[in-house]
Structure 1
Amino acid sequence: MQLIRESFGGACMVFKATMFFFLAIVSFGLASETHINAEPTHQTDANKVKWPNTQPVLRFAINHFPPYSILSEGKPPAGMNVEAMKIVAEQLNMRLKFVECPFARCIVLLEKGLVDVFVGLTYSAERAEFLHFIEPPVAPGSVQTFFARAGSSISINEFADLDGLIVGLLRHSLYFPEFDKATNFAKVEANTHMQLIDLLLNKRIDAFVGSEQRFNYLLHEQGLTDTILQQNYTIRDDRKVYLALSKHSVHSDLAESFSEALSYAKNKGVFETPFDGSSSEELQ
């Protein structure tokens, strides 16, 4: 009888051990299955990660300069210069970024390398210290003239008529050598074309200088063609107008590539003037 109890007890122990082993295997299998089922969820989340845009950014300094560059609230920049730079950026496989700035500020940003390019600058030795002037030029030159208030005693028929006047000009702009170097009249600088118009309307200056086409367009746009009149004295300056690339830009060593891209854009006719065809840019 004792032998039967011992045999039965041993069988029970074997059965318990077998069941423990079986449950352990099942538990391990379930754990493994749970881990495997969790894996696809992890992969799905990883696939949702958005990789950064790897195209280089081309920072295009732009001021309100219709019809060449037009900045309107709530609308993307437009105009011939904008269309040209879109083509240039596409040819260079770059992503175009617009940096809006008054003209004087744009020049400062170029000098510091905080923007890469600007369209519509004339060459000077001072500017060449921090800018590449990309060939081909975008225009051969511009007609410069003077504007005064209607009804004022100001009449500018020749350069000598500027003697003693207070003349407004755009800060950092170049016009024509005789004017740029002159000291026989006072010069008042403004940051924007509209500031020049405001200065004249408020009688802070006697006249201002600028592109004939540019200001006729702007005065018509503002309804001021009977209030501010173009003077008889004009001068054709043949200094070429360029796309300028900052020497402090990360793209500074790509001047040749910019030249090729600009040639492609120019051959597409994007710089053709909407006026009389004599010029496509104001000298700045």
Structure 2
Amino acid sequence: MWCKATMFFFLALVSFGLASETHINAEPAHSTKTNNAQWLETQPVLRFAINHFPPYSILSEGKPPAGINVIAMKLIAERLNMRLKFVECPFARCIVLLEMGAVDVFIGLTYSDARAEFLHFIEPSVADGSVQTFYARKGSETSINSFADLNGQIIGLTRFSLYFPEFDDATSFTKVPANSHLQLINLLLNERIDAFIGSEQRLNYLLQEQGLTDTILQQNYTVRDDRKVYLALSKRSEHSGLEESFSKALRLIKSKGVFETPYTANHSE
């Protein structure tokens, strides 16, 4: 069960530090600079927690956030007549900020009763699940071909993430939480863990982006997790009462195929 907000406030300050913020403003068509400034002052702010999770959310130094989820949230904010603010945070910190109400929304969470205590899971879901798999160093003795091969291993995972029930509930191996996928990669390369778990599509993209596909190898054991993935709205957000409005906006953009849009590292907006 999750700790109460006061405990998470402490964690956020001591363990995770302060999140960085990037303002992205959806401007009305044909506005002048003066009219635009006046328009911005009247818009409610929608704080979108975002972590580097390509191809869905891509954070690059010196560039604005990009990716499928970014496109989706821009459209939702425009539909709701809100001014979008991106709050960049590692996944674990994003979860803490959501419980605190320091951010409003996040895309990419599976449902759990514990999370539902502080989050609204907006329908419809944005995805029907993902393939979870494991990664180990090339040349290591680690070989994961079945769930039983995890026994006695040291497995890295992203803090506060859910993968698949058998893994989430298992106690036959050591689990080492990290705040981000990049931290998991560093732990593996420094031989602090034997392997780590994650979404096949997203981690393969990240490893290719980092030039590590010949250094960190995907293992044979994979599991299809059919738990749906949602846009989550913090119950402490000032927009908490707008569940239906978020649902209508999400349903509209999903019907346009936004979440099925192919996205590559070379794509530019």
Partners of 2:174 and 2:262 in 1: CA distance: 34
Residue 136 of structure 1 and its aligned partner are, at CA, apart by 0.3
Deviations 1:223-254 (A, max 9, x none): 11111110000000100000000000000000
Deviations 1:89-113 (A, max 9, x none): 0110111111111100000000010
Deviating runs (4+, > 3 A) in structure 1?
none
Matches within 5 A, 1:126-205: 126-205=114-193
Taking structure 1 as the reference length, the TM-score comes to: 0.78
Letter in 2 for 1:193: H
2:230 equivalent to 1:255: no
Partners of 1:77 and 1:152 in 2: CA distance: 35
More helix by share: 1
Partners of 2:43 and 2:144 in 1: CA distance: 52
1:217 to 205, 210, 221: 205
Residue 75 of structure 1 and its aligned partner are, at CA, apart by 1.1
Partners of 1:109 and 1:167 in 2: CA distance: 26
Residue 220 of structure 1 and its aligned partner are, at CA, apart by 0.8
Letter in 1 for 2:107: V
Deviations 1:41-80 (A, max 9, x none): xxxxxx9xx7571111100000111111111111111110
Partners of 2:47 and 2:130 in 1: CA distance: 26
2:42 equivalent to 1:54: yes
> Match of 2:66, SS?
coil
1:87 to 38, 58, 75: 75
Which residue matches 2:31? none
Rg: which structure is higher?
1
Tell me the percent identity: 78
Residue 274 of structure 1 and its aligned partner are, at CA, apart by 2.9
Partners of 2:217 and 2:90 in 1: CA distance: 24
Which residue matches 1:37? none
Matches within 5 A, 1:108-127: 108-127=96-115
Partners of 1:273 and 1:253 in 2: CA distance: 30
Which residue matches 1:7? none
Residue 270 of structure 1 and its aligned partner are, at CA, apart by 1.1
Residue 273 of structure 1 and its aligned partner are, at CA, apart by 5.3
RMSD between superposed Cα atoms in Å = 1.4
> Match of 2:262, SS?
coil
Partners of 2:221 and 2:241 in 1: CA distance: 42
> Match of 2:42, SS?
coil
Partners of 2:147 and 2:193 in 1: CA distance: 17
2:231 to 233, 243, 253: 243
1:272 to 256, 260, 265: 260
> Match of 2:124, SS?
strand
> What is the total number of aligned residue pairs between the two structures?
227
Structure 2's unaligned 5+ residue stretches are: 1-33, 264-269
Which residue matches 1:22? none
Which residue matches 2:4? none
Structure 1's unaligned 5+ residue stretches are: 1-46, 276-284
Matches within 5 A, 1:16-27: none
Partners of 1:64 and 1:222 in 2: CA distance: 12
Letter in 2 for 1:200: L
